[in-house]
């Protein structure tokens, strides 16, 4: 099952790469994506594979615009700081504990933090995230747990 | 429109050169790796722009290789900084 | 009279301008900010967004073609790998004992 | 006395070679045979005759297949020799001495030997690895249509292997490439040449001969694909072995 899903995704990637519907290309692509798909499912992702149910995948698609909006805000934030001659920053590193159960949630959370305004994931140890913030107001945003809730809804329900 | 893309490419190259200063100045190794990583991202975009301007799709594959290698290099460098070696029985 | 091509070109110019602005901000941040961690902030956020929006602009300009999908795939790669590299670097710095810049240090 | 004999022998051997070099047409001479005969034919009929849309590959694997066979053999012999040195001396000790141990963060931190990989990095690398593999396979297989080919694709495949080794730890990856298998894979390029060469004998009576008939276009293409795969897999295996042999654990 896992292998089949991986193979489908890899075959889609092959289609993007080759950009041709030539019969030989398709055959090669099919064989290779099945080979690599089985390999990925059997050895790389033997446990806790990042497989999403249909509902979770839908939630994930809905999450992307939110993330993009956050990225724009955070880039503007950096622009504001960088272009201000006084450079108003007061960095801080805080720890934040989360209740995640799956690896994929942790990774999504860590990368989302890096892409949200003024915060950067420095270290992850089990479920504790160490976050560098450009100012305390930014890390407060993380501590409020809103992002956490959102990701729980995407990956763990 | 082509002139516009040429301008964009040159703008990115100038940016990359400014980043090169950070790679030269440091002061820490991580700073240098970060600067190189950023230059790699810019190069990837330049390659994509060139692929469009020259109409040569193959440059997109080159950009893909570039992006992947950029990532791999950064991971290898950070692992080496963390442990002082590249191979061990971790994980 | 606004043509279809004109609209496409306008979108492309806006997206590219947006991306170029953030690339510039990222570069200035990389040069100006006081320590490694804050530079990583500038570098990861601005470069991800800059690269993403320029690649999107290129795909829009290119129209419906296989190579456009490849450009979107490139953008996805940047979106995935750039924050991960940023995190890996910050972690390496943290684990090797690099302290972060504080306001009261001056 | 002995040295003088060797020296004079070398001079005697060198004279005809030097004369031959002097007889070669000057570099860039438009009347040189290479410009008047071969190039034109390669360019005009290369696609048709060689069965490779990419002219470079056509020249490399078909017209000059024998040369390339020699080349890969030389390269792989040299790398095998390098590997032999690396393996027998117990690995090269890179960076081990001049590297200070990581500064301890807490008291118990210094006791724990290697820093574990960040789970985020581990996850993303595992996620990307199959895509890198597919991409490498694409570059290898499309060498005869687009720029790229065995050497380049092999390098990408090797990079995938190396990053997996770095992130998963050598202990997990090394068993996947056991010694006997690695030895055969390393030789994949020369071996595939031998195989295809023998096939050429069966078709045309010449070693590495490609069947010239138009109807056998597909066969020619397939033969080249096999050569590319051989070069790619062999190259990747060599990269991986060198990486594993470097720096003792």
User: What does the pLDDT look like over D134-174, one tens digit per residue?
Assistant: 998 888 887 666 666 777 888 888 888 888 888 887 777 77
Percentage of residues in chain D with pLDDT exceeding 70?
A: 54
Which residues in D have their CB inside 8 Å of a CB on A? Answer: 118-120, 123-124, 126-127, 129-131, 133-135, 137-138, 141-142, 176
Percentage of residues in chain A with pLDDT exceeding 70?
A: 100
At C35 the pLDDT is 85
At D233 the pLDDT is 82
Nearest CA in chain D to A19: D138
**A34 is in which domain, residue-wise?**
2-44
Residue A147 lies in a domain: yes
Asked if C102 reaches chain B (Cβ–Cβ under 8 Å), the answer is no
Residues of C whose CB is below 8 A from A87: 32-34
At C64 the pLDDT is 82
At B88 the pLDDT is 65
Ramachandran angles phi, psi of A43, nearest 5°: -105, -45
Residue D12 lies in a domain: no
More confident residue, A84 or D106: A84
- Maximum mean pLDDT: which of A54-58, C55-59, D184-188: C55-59
Residues of A whose CB is below 8 A from D133: 36, 39
Nearest CA in chain B to D128: B68
At D211 the pLDDT is 65
Instruction: Judge: A17–D135 Cβ closer than 8 Å, yes or no.
Output: yes
Answer yes or no: do A88 and A137 share one domain: yes
Q: Cα separation of D217 and D66, whole Å? A: 20
Answer yes or no: do A81 and A119 share one domain: yes
Instruction: Judge: B44–C78 Cβ closer than 8 Å, yes or no.
Output: yes
At D98 the pLDDT is 41
Residues of B whose CB is below 8 A from D171: 88-89
More confident residue, D227 or B30: B30
Residue D215, class by beta-carbon neighbours within 10 Å (0-12 exposed, 13-18 middle, 19+ buried)? Answer: exposed
Answer yes or no: do A65 and A132 share one domain: yes
Instruction: Judge: C87–A83 Cβ closer than 8 Å, yes or no.
Output: no
Answer yes or no: do A32 and A59 share one domain: no
The count of structural domains within chain D is 1
More confident residue, C100 or D11: D11
Q: Which of residues 93-112 of D touch C (CB under 8 A)?
A: 102-103, 105
Q: Indicate the domain borders of chain B.
A: 2-83
* Residue A79 vs residues A6, D12, D43, D179: alpha-carbon distances, Å: 39, 74, 53, 54
Q: Which residue has the tokens 């597909």?
A: D218
At C56 the pLDDT is 92
| Position D198 pLDDT exceeds 80 | no
Residue D4 lies in a domain: no
Residues of D whose CB is below 8 A from A101: none
Rounded-to-5 percentages of helix, strand, coil across chain B: 85, 0, 15
At D101 the pLDDT is 47
Asked if A121 reaches chain D (Cβ–Cβ under 8 Å), the answer is yes
Of D99, D116, D170, the CB nearest to B87: D170
Structure tokens, C85: 């590299």
Instruction: Judge: C81–D128 Cβ closer than 8 Å, yes or no.
Output: yes
Of B64, B65, B76, the CB nearest to D166: B76
Alpha helices in D24-149 (DSSP H): 33, 39-50, 55-58, 65-88, 119-141
Question: Could you tell me which of D2, D181, D186, D156 has the C-alpha nearest to residue D79?
Answer: D186
Answer yes or no: do A141 and A90 share one domain: yes
More confident residue, A101 or D107: A101
Instruction: Judge: D120–A33 Cβ closer than 8 Å, yes or no.
Output: no
Asked if C79 reaches chain B (Cβ–Cβ under 8 Å), the answer is no
Alpha helices in A44-118 (DSSP H): 54-83, 103-115
Residues of B whose CB is below 8 A from D121: 75, 78
Structure tokens, C64: 């419906």
Alpha helices in D142-216 (DSSP H): 150-168, 170-173, 179-186, 188-204
At D96 the pLDDT is 41
The count of structural domains within chain A is 2
Positions of chain C with pLDDT under 50: 106
Residue D217, class by beta-carbon neighbours within 10 Å (0-12 exposed, 13-18 middle, 19+ buried)? Answer: middle
Instruction: Judge: A28–D141 Cβ closer than 8 Å, yes or no.
Output: yes
Of B4, B15, B82, the CB nearest to C95: B82
Q: Quick one: average pLDDT of B39-66?
A: 88
Sheet of A119-125, strand order = A92-97, A128-133, A119-125
Which chains have 3+ CB pairs within 8 A of A? C, D
Complex ipTM above 0.95?
Answer: no
Residue-wise burial string across A73-89, b where 16 or more C-beta atoms lie within 10 A, e elsewhere: ebbbbbbebbeeeeeeb
Instruction: Judge: B75–D96 Cβ closer than 8 Å, yes or no.
Output: no
Q: Quick one: average pLDDT of D180-207?
A: 73
Residue D190 lies in a domain: yes
Asked if C46 reaches chain B (Cβ–Cβ under 8 Å), the answer is no
pLDDT in tens, D86-127: 665 544 444 443 444 454 454 444 444 567 788 888 889 888
**D175 is in which domain, residue-wise?**
32-100+107-245
More confident residue, D153 or D188: D153
Residue A49 lies in a domain: no
Q: Indicate the domain borders of chain C.
A: 4-98
Answer yes or no: do A40 and A70 share one domain: no
The SS3 call for residue A93 is strand
At C54 the pLDDT is 93
Answer yes or no: do A79 and A138 share one domain: yes
pLDDT in tens, C35-56: 888 888 888 888 899 999 999 9
At B90 the pLDDT is 61
């Amino acid at each position: 099952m896992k292998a089949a899903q991986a193979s489908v995704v890899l075959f889609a990637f092959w289609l993007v790469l080759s950009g041709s519907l030539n019969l030989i290309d398709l055959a090669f692509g099919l064989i290779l994506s099945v080979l690599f798909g089985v390999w990925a499912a059997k050895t790389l992702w033997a446990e806790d594979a990042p497989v999403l149910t249909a509902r979770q995948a839908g939630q994930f698609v809905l999450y992307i615009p939110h993330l993009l909006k956050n990225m724009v805000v955070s880039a503007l934030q950096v622009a504001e700081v960088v272009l201000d001659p006084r450079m108003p920053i007061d960095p801080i590193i805080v720890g934040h504990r989360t209740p995640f159960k799956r690896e994929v949630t942790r990774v999504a959370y860590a990368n989302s933090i890096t892409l949200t305004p003024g915060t950067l994931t420095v270290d992850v140890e089990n479920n504790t995230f160490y976050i560098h913030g450009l100012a305390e107001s930014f890390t407060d945003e993380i501590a409020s747990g809103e992002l956490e809730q959102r990701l729980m809804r995407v990956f763990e329900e | 429109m082509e002139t516009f893309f040429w301008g964009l490419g040159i703008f990115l190259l100038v940016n990359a050169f400014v980043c090169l200063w950070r790679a030269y100045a440091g002061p820490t190794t991580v700073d240098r790796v970060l600067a190189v990583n950023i230059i790699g991202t810019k190069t990837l975009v330049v390659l994509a722009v060139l692929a469009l301007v020259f109409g040569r799709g193959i440059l997109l594959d080159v950009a893909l290789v570039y992006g992947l290698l950029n990532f791999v290099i950064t991971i290898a460098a950070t692992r080496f900084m963390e442990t002082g070696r590249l191979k061990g029985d971790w994980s | 009279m606004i043509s279809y091509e004109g609209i496409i070109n306008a979108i492309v110019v806006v997206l590219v301008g947006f991306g170029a602005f953030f690339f510039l901000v990222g570069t200035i941040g990389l040069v100006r900010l006081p320590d490694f961690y804050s530079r990583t902030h500038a570098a990861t956020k601005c470069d991800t967004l800059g690269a993403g929006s320029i690649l999107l602009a290129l795909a829009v300009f290119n129209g419906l073609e296989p190579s456009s999908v490849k450009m979107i795939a490139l953008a996805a790669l940047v979106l995935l790998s750039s924050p991960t590299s940023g995190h890996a670097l910050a972690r390496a710095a943290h684990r090797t004992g690099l302290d972060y810049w504080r306001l009261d240090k001056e | 006395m002995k040295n003088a004999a060797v020296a004079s022998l070398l001079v005697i051997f060198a004279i005809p070679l030097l004369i031959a070099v002097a007889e070669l047409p000057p570099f860039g001479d438009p009347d040189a045979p290479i410009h008047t005969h071969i190039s034109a034919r390669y360019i005009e009929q290369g696609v048709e005759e060689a069965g490779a849309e990419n002219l470079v590959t056509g020249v490399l694997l078909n017209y000059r297949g024998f040369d390339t066979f020699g080349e890969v053999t030389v390269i792989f012999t040299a790398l095998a020799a390098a590997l032999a040195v690396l393996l027998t001396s117990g690995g090269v000790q890179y960076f081990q001495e001049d590297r200070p141990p990581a500064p301890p963060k807490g008291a118990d931190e210094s006791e724990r030997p290697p820093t574990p990989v960040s789970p985020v990095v581990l996850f993303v690398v595992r996620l990307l690895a199959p895509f890198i593999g597919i991409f490498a396979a694409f570059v290898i297989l499309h060498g005869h249509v687009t720029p790229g080919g065995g050497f380049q694709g092999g390098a990408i495949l090797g990079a995938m292997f190396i990053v997996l080794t770095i992130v998963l730890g050598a202990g997990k990856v090394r068993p996947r490439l056991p010694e006997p298998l690695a030895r055969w894979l390393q030789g994949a390029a020369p071996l595939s040449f031998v195989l295809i060469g023998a096939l050429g004998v069966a078709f045309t009576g010449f070693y590495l001969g490609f069947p010239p008939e138009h109807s056998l276009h597909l066969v020619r293409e397939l033969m080249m694909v096999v050569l590319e795969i051989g070069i790619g897999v062999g190259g990747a295996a060599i990269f991986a072995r060198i990486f594993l042999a470097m720096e003792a654990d």
